[in-house]
Structure 1
Amino acid sequence: MTEAEAKEAELLWGAYEQRQRAVSTLSAFDLSERELENRMRLGARTDVEALKSILLAVANTSVDLHHRKMAHYQLAILEERDGQPYREHLAWAAKYQLLRFEQDGVQKVRILTAGELDSCPSCQSQSGRVLSVGDALCQMPIPCAGCTRTLVGEAPGFCRCMYVADLN
């Protein structure tokens, strides 16, 4: 294989891997590769652009609050990876989690961090904090304003704190 052929093979493999990641992400929303292909026909230039478009549609229109939450979370991951603003997606993901708890009759939530080794001091300071669902919706302490963690990119603030139902 020549150097040029090797570079071409790398590009093709990268495109294949990108497609597989996109299809895997969509499967969590009961969507298929056909959705990606449809978005490409509508003008998306890449699989990632098509995926973001699909996820944004799910985040804005799904009746399933869990799907809305997860679509925003996946968008945050994609945007962070691309060096784009992502914290608004994290905030929407947290809000939809709270709305789902409210829908399910949960009265109080507890803030859970990613653990001492994987969370920043700002996030750790919230660990175990209990709030009513209403107070959490008003205060929106997640994503933590002072978070300094990163996920795959370089921009700090990818807060991995989450709400869990407090049944005490």
Structure 2
Amino acid sequence: MSNQQIYGFIQLITCIPPTDQQSSDPAYIPQLKINPTATATLAEEFESPISIFVYMGNLGAGKSKLASLTVASLQKNDIDNSLLPFKSGDDPRGVTNGVWMWSEPLKDPNRKRGSILVLDCEGMGGNDVTVNNNLYLFCMIVSSVLTLVLRPARIDRDQCNRLHDELQRF
């Protein structure tokens, strides 16, 4: 028997770190890289229409825990319950940088067809505001359900201002 742990999540989007020169250029547009394994999983395993549940918030707010609880509540007997939940922890650099997805399609209990995709976004509160804003916008655009996880002890003016500024861009 193997001791290898099997995770139920895979990274969907990676942030490509900008060079120092790019970081200082106000016209620089951050680059996001999509994982081809994740897109293949979506194409092969998920049934249309796909409802996308996105969890976002500051570092350490509990996004991954809430995403894992959502997955657990939607899992059916035909899904492998031995898969490990989304990573979470108290690393000051973050644990789930980028956007991570649950790799198994979840069934909507109110529909006969379609899938639910759960995304965990570690994009707010990092060091590179421009990259974080791109992740934030991507998640806002693709989400069917967007959950901004706020913990009262950690709600700050900057987080509210970022949300306001990004919504104003629409």
TM-score by length of 2: 0.28
Relative contact order: is structure 1 or structure 2 higher (C-alpha 8 Å, sep ≥ 6)?
2
The structure carrying a bigger strand percent of its residues is: 2
Which protein has the larger Cα radius of gyration, Structure 1 or Structure 2? 1
